[in-house]
Chain A
Amino acid sequence: KAGVTQTPRYLIKTRGQQVTLSCSPISGHRSVSWYQQTPGQGLQFLFEYFSETQRNKGNFPGRFSGRQFSNSRSEMNVSTLELGDSALYLCASSFRTGGETEAFFGQGTRLTVV
């Protein structure tokens, strides 16, 4: 079965712009989580969605937002981009929420802010 699909794979944006990243989970999975990975901070949790509801949110500014659609696909949006937002953004898909199921990750979206 198809894995987790993230689009686009690479993005270059200018400071002050906004960006939208997309994640399609494994078919049948209803939980989607987002992580930011940088060399200095490692993997940091952004937010988690289950059945179109945000279940948990990490310690990021309000410029970072997300949503989940009825087909479980999720998008995250970053407004007013800063240089420090340059990172690999990873999406994880799980069958259900509650921490008991395996997480499967996509290939990530590499965002570069110039």
Chain B
Amino acid sequence: KQEVTQIPAALSVPEGENLVLNCSFTDSAIYNLQWFRQDPGKGLTSLLLIQSSQREQTSGRLNASLDKSSGRSTLYIAASQPGDSATYLCAAPRWGGATNKLIFGTGTLLAVQP
């Protein structure tokens, strides 16, 4: 049974810092891993999707890596800005069967101080 965990649960950094968010999963049999951002009371915004055959994906100041053998993914945010403050969630679809059910981590609450 896939379990996804995220460390740290909360993070506060000053503006301009580079930071890394961690996501661990117990079952290396994954199709892909997706990172989301959620602002308070809002829906989830898809940031990056890494397919199981990929090692990295980049979008602007965001870079996500995937290491299936160690069961880890990291989200790197360069030159953080106050607007990056949000909760970041990682999720992997359940393996096997015709389903899109996502298994979510508990999220990292990020606060970027101006």
Contact = CB atoms under 8 A, between A and B. Distances in A.
Overall SS of chain A's interface: strand
Contacts of A74: none
Contacts of A6: 43
Contact of A100 (B32, B43, B104, B106): B32
A45 B102 contact: yes
Contacts of B107: 42
Contacts, number: 75
A97 B102 CA distance: 12
What size tier do the contact residues of chain A reach? Answer: 20 to 34
Given A90-B44, A103-B46, A105-B44, 15 more contacts: A4-B43, A45-B101, A50-B100, A56-B99, A58-B101, A90-B43, A92-B100, A92-B102, A97-B99, A99-B94, A99-B95, A100-B31, A103-B34, A108-B43, A110-B41
Interface of B: 31-32, 34, 36, 41-46, 49, 89, 91, 93-95, 97-102, 104, 106-107
